[in-house]
Each structure stands twice: as structure tokens, then as C-alpha cells.
Amino acid sequence: MSRRWIHNPSRCADEYLDGIEDFIEFARRHNPGATRIRCPCRRCNNTLWETIENVGFHLVRNGMIETYSIWNLHGEQLDHASSSNATRMDSVEPIVDPNDQVMDIIQDAFPFASTNINHEREDDVPTPIDNVEFEQYEKLLKNANQELYPGCESFSVLTAIVELMHEKIKYRMSNLCFNYFLGVFKRMLLTDNCLPKDHKHAQKVLNGLGLGYEKIDACKNNCMLFYKEHETLDTCPICNESRFKMTSQNRTTKIPQKVMRYLPLKPRLQRLYMSTHTSIDMRWHKEKRVDDDVMRHPADGEAWKEFDRTFLEFAIDPRNVRLGLATDGFNPYGVLNQHHSTWPIFEVNRCLLMAAG
């Protein structure tokens, strides 16, 4: 089956529209009974799930990812025994119950807690776990097992919150809009339902699942961070600018002029290896990558290979992680005429940069 239509710049051309029909038919055939599939349009980038009908609409409107010529996320994979152009059919991800998915997330987030509870043999030695962490685990487990309302079998409290928060992010809903619809849903359900009343309370339920961040005060002029040995200072030692805003004398709390949000790297790397779903992908570059001189992954590049030759001991263990540094500016409010921009600095896990096609 020719995939040249993917690169056709005219999305109204018969070749392109026929190609979309071929893809939709392929997706239906390899996802029997599925109501949603990954959308390979340039905007969704195979990260969002849509109905099959919406996927077809997205492909016409946004175009398909040009590099997605092997539909491995929809049932097709490279045949490792032949060239990169040969393909074979393989099984796709099974349709999983949302409640089971939420339980899997909890087990991935707290593997030690679940191990301690489920160990049965007397010679098993339970893994030490922090009391606060165990309390979070118990709260999440309680919400995962609690019905959204009496007699509800489709959604637990936690499953409902995860689903609603996902839609909030997917459709870029403001907190105000989210609070409104959450209130409407709560009034629609039975009076003794357990749905949170607003976004703040929903976030509290999910706190144990997430990886938090640290707030670090910064100098207004970007000279320094009030961190470690400078944590107790009230003024910047470089420009003498005050750390805090001028507020009323009656105010007891001080408001910093600028705050940096730091997402600690170590617990995020630990989470990747704690999860049974991502730990395999972390070693994919060494154990499952097809080395056929085709550039699909950073490991196929000369820079990666030169690094391996220079640091042999590091390269031997496939669990070692290579990180890339990147930054770019964007307007978080989506309004181009505002004189505001944010420049986050990203640490990119190169081991997980698997090509889509």
C-alpha cells in the first residue's frame, strides 16, 4: 500500500482523501470494537485519543504527521527481520477498563506500598516506606474503590476525577469554566454523590499521584535565586533589589516579586523506572531498536554513537539515561499582543524519544 499521499500538500486532492479512507479502514480493521484511537494528525501528534470519525476530520483539517509512514500505533510494526520498508501486522493495545487503568497508575506511583500490602510469604522483607507517602497511597486507594454514587459501576471517584481533569487539559478549559461544569455534573447526579465541588478539591484528590514542584524565589532582575545559602536573604546581593513586593504593613505574609517553579529531576527519573509501562521504553534504545542505518531515534545519530565510544562503562548499562537541554519562549495566555512570555528550561529524556513512524 503506497503512503505517498501523506506528503501531498493538497488535502483536497483525491489521492489524499483516498489515503485517509485507507487509513480509517486500516484502523477499524486492527482496532475491532474500539470507539477511540490515537489521532495521527499534526496537531494531536498521536498523543490524543479521538473517535474514528473525528480522526478522519482532523487528518483533512490538520494533515497527517509526515514521518508517520509506518502505522505502528494502529496495528502495524517494523519487521525486524527485513528492511525498514517491510511491515508485519501485530496486536495493538487492548481496550482497558478505565478503573483498571487508574489502579495501574496507583500501583506504578506506589510500587513499594502495594508490595508491602500484597506480600504473603513469611520470608518476604517489606520495603520501607514513608508514613506520609503511605497515607497518600491509602487515600488514593480509597477513592479508587469508592463508587461515584451508590450503585455506579462505571466510575469510581478517582476514575471520574482523572477523566474530567484529562478533558480539562485536552480542551484547554479555564478553572472557572471547569468549576461551572463540575457544579452542573454534581447537581445532575444523585444527591449523595462523591464528585468534588470544584477544581481545587479535585486537585487535592490527585496530589498523591502527581510529581510536585518547588517554588524558589528569584530576583526581580534575574540576578540570582534565593536558594540554599541565599534562602534567608531579603534583598539581592547583586542589585540590592527587594525580594518581596511592597504591601500593607498589616499583611502578615510576604509576597515575592518573582518565583521560579522547579520540577525536581531525580523523582521523575525514578518514576519512569518504577512504572512497568515506561521502564521497558527506557531500555528500548538498547534492547529493541532496529539498527539498519536509518535515522529514527537519537541513538541512530553519530553524536550518540561517539558518546558511547567515549564513555564505554556508561554505555554498557541500558538503564543509564542521556538527557538533552532545551528552552524556548511562549506566551502562556495565548494572547499574542500581551507583553509577557515564559522561558521554561526542559531536560529531555533522549531514551524515550522514539520515532512515531
Cβ pair 110, 144 in contact under 8 A: no
pTM comes to: 0.55
Instruction: Please choose, from the candidates 234, 198, 237, 236, the residue with its C-alpha nearest in 3D space to the C-alpha of residue 219.
Output: 236
328-352: pLDDT as tens digits: 765 555 544 556 566 677 677 766 6
The answer to whether the beta carbons of residues 257 and 245 sit under 8 Å apart is yes
Q: What is the pLDDT of residues 172-216, one digit of tens each?
A: 889 999 999 999 999 999 999 999 999 999 988 887 777 778 899
* Grid cell in block for residue 171: 480542551
Distance, C-alpha 220 to centroid of its chain: 31
| pLDDT for res 334 | 53
For residue 166, the model assigns a pLDDT of 87
Q: How far is CA 298 from the centre of its chain?
A: 20
pLDDT digits (tens, 9 = 90+) for 104-119: 777 777 776 655 444 4
pLDDT at 289: 80
Sorted by sequence, the CB contacts under 8 Å of residue 278 that are 6+ apart come out as 271, 272, 352
Residue 230: the pLDDT is 93
What integer pLDDT is reported at residue 250 of this predicted model? 65
What is d(CA 36, CA 92) in angstroms, rounded to the nearest whole number?
A: 13
Predicted local confidence at residue 88, as pLDDT:
36
> In this predicted structure, what is the pLDDT of residue 148?
93
**234: pLDDT confidence band, cut at 50, 70 and 90?**
very high
pLDDT value, residue 353: 55
Q: In 205-283, where do the E strands start and end?
A: 214-218, 258-262
